[in-house]
Amino acid sequence: MLSIILRPIKEAFNGLFRHFSMTFSSIIAVSVTLLLVSLFLMLTVNLQEITSTVEGKIQIHVQISNDVAEPKTLQTRIEAIGGVESVLYSTKDEELDKFIASYGEEGLIFEMYRGENNPLKNAFIVELSDSSKLENVGARISALTGVEKANYGGTNTIKLVNMLTNIRDGGMALVLALGILALILIINTIKITIQSRSNEISIMRTIGATNNFIRAPFVIEGIFIGFIGSMLPIGLSIYGYSYVYTALGGVLFTAIFPLRAVFPFVLQLSYLLVLLGITLGLFGSFISVTRYLRGVR
């Protein structure tokens, strides 16, 4: 029983070294494709991180008219709008504190406006559950009686969120396309390997070997090729991402755009690349040898 299990593994190892040039070509095809997949995955994941951070920071600043006697009633009406997650009341004194803090030490000059001289308005800070509803929610809040102004950054904020979302979705589409391309490359490369071993397969068939018996070593070879081919992209991804993250200080241009932390991200990426490499090698070799065996019936 043990010999039956070990035989295809032994044959797979022999095939890898006996046809080293074809094995090497297959490994290079897997490595190059997985490296591209890794690059786009790193880009996509970080765009997701940036998009989530930007969406989490999007707020609508609602200034309340001075003649509103019951802010609580207006707050309840805002909370009832679809897409609103929370509404925080901020008095004009708290608004002045934020204004002064935004200028640092130079902002202390505005302390003269404390109390009755405060020209600022009481306000609501509105957070959304869905940033795509920003424009609609802003318009509905602006239409409420007692609201003097609802500021959310206008169309520029909406364009930024939409742009990041589109780039992220485009990155995922490219990852999928590269995965399909990798499978095609592996199928074609292993197909050439199988054709170069046609005499070997014919002999096995002559002595009565079944298709599964013939197919098993090739499938195991594909698994090994996928596994070995994933090692280089993993090493380059771990070193490269760690270097870029450290060089940029963990952010892209500004703290508003944080990058995904190195750990455990690079470990998760490594597991994914190994799994993807093995899966592509397995299916690529299985499809190639199955097609060949059907064609030589």
Of 204, 163, 230, whose CA–CA distance to 289 is shortest? 204
Cα–Cα dist 21/188, whole Å: 15
pLDDT at 168 over 90: no
Q: Where exactly are the structural domains of the chain?
A: 2-54+165-295, 59-151
Of 44, 43, 47, 42, whose CA–CA distance to 269 is shortest? 42
In this structure, the number of other CB atoms found within 10 A of the CB of residue 295 comes to 7
Cα–Cα dist 148/61, whole Å: 11
Bridge partner residues of 128 (DSSP): 84
- Calculate the average pLDDT of the chain: 85
Of 203, 184, 188, whose CA–CA distance to 296 is shortest? 203
Helices 154-196 and 262-295: crossing angle in degrees, nearest 10, is 40
Give 36-87 pLDDT, tens digit per residue: 889 988 988 898 888 778 777 788 999 999 889 889 999 999 999 998 999 9
Cα–Cα dist 290/47, whole Å: 40
Give 126-146 pLDDT, tens digit per residue: 998 877 788 889 999 999 999
The domain 59-151 having CATH identifier 3.40.190.10: the answer here is no
DSSP-derived letter for residue 60 is: E
Exposure of 17 by Cβ count < 10 A (0-12 exposed, 13-18 middle, 19+ buried)?
exposed
Question: Cis peptide leading into 264, omega within 30 of 0?
Answer: yes
Range with top average pLDDT, 85-89, 100-104, 108-112, 290-294: 85-89
Identify residue 193 by its one-letter amino acid code.
T
Task: Identify the pLDDT of residue 297.
Answer: 58
Give 234-288 pLDDT, tens digit per residue: 999 999 999 999 999 999 887 778 899 999 999 999 999 999 999 988 888 888 8
- Those residues whose C-beta lies under 8 Å from the C-beta of residue 264, and which sit 6 or more positions away, are none
Exposure of 77 by Cβ count < 10 A (0-12 exposed, 13-18 middle, 19+ buried)?
middle
Where helices occur in the chain by DSSP H, the ranges are 2-18, 20-57, 71-79, 92-102, 134-142, 154-196, 198-206, 211-248, 262-295
Question: Cis peptide leading into 233, omega within 30 of 0?
Answer: no
Per-residue pLDDT band at 18 (split at 50, 70, 90): confident
Per-residue pLDDT band at 4 (split at 50, 70, 90): low
Of 210, 228, 200, whose CA–CA distance to 290 is shortest? 210
Task: Identify the pLDDT of residue 61.
Answer: 92
